[in-house]
Amino acid sequence: MPSANAPRLRASWQRSEHYGVPEDEVNPVFSGSVDTESLLYECGLEVLRGLQATLANEPISLMLTDSEGLVLSRICGDAGITKSLDRVHLAPGFYFAESNAGTNGLGLALADRTPSLVRAGEHYCTSLRGYTCAAVPVLDPLSGALAGSVNLTTWSEQSSDLLLALAQTAAGHTSALMLARASGRQPRPVPRGEVYRMYSERLDPPRLSAAWQHPLVEAFEAMRQGRTVLVTGESGAGKTALAALARRELRTRERLLNARPPAPDEVRQWLRVWEPELGKADTCVVVSGADTLPAWAASELAARFLSLRQDDGVAPFVLTAASDAVPASLAPIVDTVVEVPPLRLRPDDVLPLAQHFAHRARGRPAQFTPAAARALTAYDWPENVKQLRRVIQKAAARSGNIDLQHLPAEIFANAGHRLNRMQALERDEIVRCLSQPGATVVQAAEQLGMGRATVYRKLAQYGIDVQRFRS
């Protein structure tokens, strides 16, 4: 049993008991298919092979898993430990999450989304106590989502001082290599370090379509009835905004806070600072990204949430997540799941939102030409409302009468594949020339120093629709 100074391990043992994991052996779950085509697999395997070359004479097994604990690959030059790991099913094609194997290095790293070292007797299953396991989560460098983990396992009597450091290095190199091979896409911004922020809106929100109003009313009614609400949807779709608007309808003068999860290694400090706000009168906390919380943090929040209920029975908190797949400890708390549809399914909302963001950016209304309005409405908005807000803020900073030339090239193109930096620059130049008032393909070709046939070929290559530039 973990010592008293290991709260994460104790919490993991409790979860293992809850899952019904046998204490004497791993409950093997085998998958007949392993994704060997993913960027994680390609980059992780390359990094682990390089690391294994430096550890050729060491009894260390290097493994790569997906986000669910499925072992994707295993590299080891020691026949003894390889055969031993086969006997406990720590091998490609087997799941080794906490729910299958109890407390173990990679399962704990995935559950808590933080580097983890589990030694000998700290394992829940007795059959694993002959090993020491160090594992580190690998995050997708573009989305920030949990992609998988790197796991290093050795005999329990071996020195483990450097094992976790090696795993951290391998995970970092894997994430960096994934970014380098993402064909010019920009990395996800790092967390801004804010613990929580006041949610306020200086302008009345625009009247949006029924596709937005329906989940808004659903959330309001659920809150009014004292039900705990989880708002789900794609990143940037407006989950926090919908939760806040529903609370504003319910309690006009309520203080609204938005707590957004930080980097995994900062979660404990993050909780310690803002969690006391939950107990304050006339305060509601919107806890964003509940699905990204480490298992231990979710358990602590769940216990706190269960003790909270305002005088009229209304829960003083709302959760948001990408889907309803929140940590197991939070799932029983949720009474109602409300889904916010992505912006591409709400084309009637694009222009009202654009006008709202322009007004907010300039402090006064802005105008959109018909051509600009058509271009905005026709775009798919893969990053949803967050992307629309960013585009409009930049356009409104340039002009109060927003036309095609004030919009970025991304609005006019749909290449269907990732572009490298040179391709993106070329696309942007073509769009810049075509967005000039009255510009034609012939004039754009002259400005670019290209033949007309070449420009038409480039238009097809980058998915640029010339009709979007017509007035």
Residues 121 and 256 in one domain: no
Span 332-345, pLDDT tens digits: 999 999 999 999 99
CATH assignment at residue 26: 3.30.450.40
Span 233-249, pLDDT tens digits: 999 999 999 999 999 89
Span 423-449, pLDDT tens digits: 777 777 887 887 777 788 888 888 878
Residues 221 and 363 in one domain: no
Given a cut of 70, whether residue 387 has pLDDT beyond it is yes
Place of tokens 């080891």: 76
Half-sphere exposure of 90 (CA within 13 A, CB side): 33
Lowest-confidence range among 172-181, 310-319, 331-340?
310-319
Span 41-67, pLDDT tens digits: 999 999 999 998 888 778 999 999 999
Helix axes 421-434, 441-448, angle to 10 degrees: 130
Asked whether residue 155 is domain-assigned, the answer is yes
| Contact assessment for residue 93 and residue 34, using Cβ atoms and an 8 Å cutoff | yes
Residues 46 and 138 in one domain: yes
Question: Rounded distance, CA 257 to CA 434, Å?
Answer: 44
Domain that holds residue 36: 7-180
Question: Rounded distance, CA 158 to CA 218, Å?
Answer: 57
- The kind and range of the H/E element at 421 are helix 421-434
State the Cα angle at 76 between 48 and 63, rounded to 5°.
Answer: 50
Residues 83 and 158 in one domain: yes
For the segment 261-271, the average pLDDT, to the nearest whole number, is 76
Mean pLDDT of the chain: 86
Half-sphere exposure of 49 (CA within 13 A, CB side): 7
Question: Rounded distance, CA 247 to CA 319, Å?
Answer: 12
For the segment 73-94, the average pLDDT, to the nearest whole number, is 92
Last residue of a domain, one of 341, 357, 372: 341
Helix, strand, or coil (residue 226): coil
- Please give the pLDDT value at position 193: 46
DSSP per-residue letters across 159-197: --TTHHHHHHHHHHHHHHHHHHTSTTPPPPPPP---S-E
Per-residue pLDDT band for 5 (boundaries 50, 70, 90) equals very low
The total number of structural domains in the chain stands at 3
DSSP code for 283: E
DSSP per-residue letters across 77-95: S-HHHHHHHHHTT-STTBB
Place of tokens 């390889």: 82
CA distances from 258 to 163, 165, 321, 373 (A): 38, 34, 13, 32
Residues 12 and 157 in one domain: yes
CATH assignment at residue 260: 3.40.50.300
Asked whether residue 223 is domain-assigned, the answer is yes
Asked whether residue 219 is domain-assigned, the answer is yes
Span 202-212, pLDDT tens digits: 557 888 999 99
Residues 356 and 400 in one domain: yes
Express as a percent the part of the chain with pLDDT over 70: 91
Residues 44 and 173 in one domain: yes
Span 179-218, pLDDT tens digits: 888 765 555 554 554 555 665 655 578 889 999 999 999 9
Asked whether residue 186 is domain-assigned, the answer is no
Asked whether residue 1 is domain-assigned, the answer is no
| Contact assessment for residue 89 and residue 26, using Cβ atoms and an 8 Å cutoff | yes
Q: Is the pLDDT higher at 46 or at 271?
A: 46
For the segment 217-233, the average pLDDT, to the nearest whole number, is 94
Asked whether residue 185 is domain-assigned, the answer is no
Place of tokens 């073509």: 430
| Contact assessment for residue 174 and residue 44, using Cβ atoms and an 8 Å cutoff | yes
Express as a percent the part of the chain with pLDDT over 90: 47
Residues 43 and 128 in one domain: yes
Residues 161 and 231 in one domain: no
Residues 261 and 156 in one domain: no
Given a cut of 60, whether residue 162 has pLDDT beyond it is yes
Cβ-based neighbours of 206, under 8 Å, separated by 6 or more: 352, 353, 355, 356
- Please give the pLDDT value at position 253: 83
Per-residue pLDDT band for 109 (boundaries 50, 70, 90) equals very high
Cβ-based neighbours of 251, under 8 Å, separated by 6 or more: 282, 284, 314
State the Cα angle at 464 between 406 and 408, rounded to 5°.
Answer: 20
Last residue of a domain, one of 306, 341, 376: 341
Last residue of a domain, one of 301, 322, 341: 341
Residues 36 and 149 in one domain: yes
State the Cα angle at 436 between 430 and 439, rounded to 5°.
Answer: 80
- Please give the pLDDT value at position 4: 44
Asked whether residue 394 is domain-assigned, the answer is yes
Span 12-38, pLDDT tens digits: 999 999 888 999 888 888 886 788 889
Question: Rounded distance, CA 13 to CA 8, Å?
Answer: 9
Asked whether residue 112 is domain-assigned, the answer is yes
In 3D space, the residue among 12, 9, 33, 26 whose CA is nearest the CA of residue 96 turns out to be: 26
- Please give the pLDDT value at position 339: 95
Residues 265 and 127 in one domain: no
If phi > 0 it is left, if psi is from -120 to 50 it is alpha, else beta; for residue 353 that is: alpha
- Please give the pLDDT value at position 309: 63
